[in-house]
Amino acid sequence: MVFPNVRALREDRDLRQRQVAAVLNVSQNTYSQYENGVIELTAEHLIKLADFYGVSVDYLLGRTRNPRLNK
């Protein structure tokens, strides 16, 4: 499954795949496969990405268009 918000957030912040891959402690190739839907993001990595970008996991998954966290 492809999650376009994951790629869009990275590109909006002018980050390279290898930079975000380092946050997740995976290779750039693995992160590229996440972005392209070749392999699925794990729950742990979704949470790390949501924390890194300051958005909700639902936003990353495309379940909402509102990136704000509900606290």
Every domain of the chain and the residues it spans: 4-61
From the options 3.40.50.1970, 3.40.50.1220, 3.40.720.10, 1.10.260.40, give the CATH code of 4-61: 1.10.260.40
Read off the pLDDT band of 71 (50, 70, 90): low
Rounded Cα–Cα distance for residues 36 and 45 (Å)? 15
Read off the pLDDT band of 3 (50, 70, 90): confident
Give pTM, 2 decimals: 0.88
Give the end-to-end CA distance of the chain in Å, rounded to a whole number.
28
Residue 42 confidence (pLDDT): 93
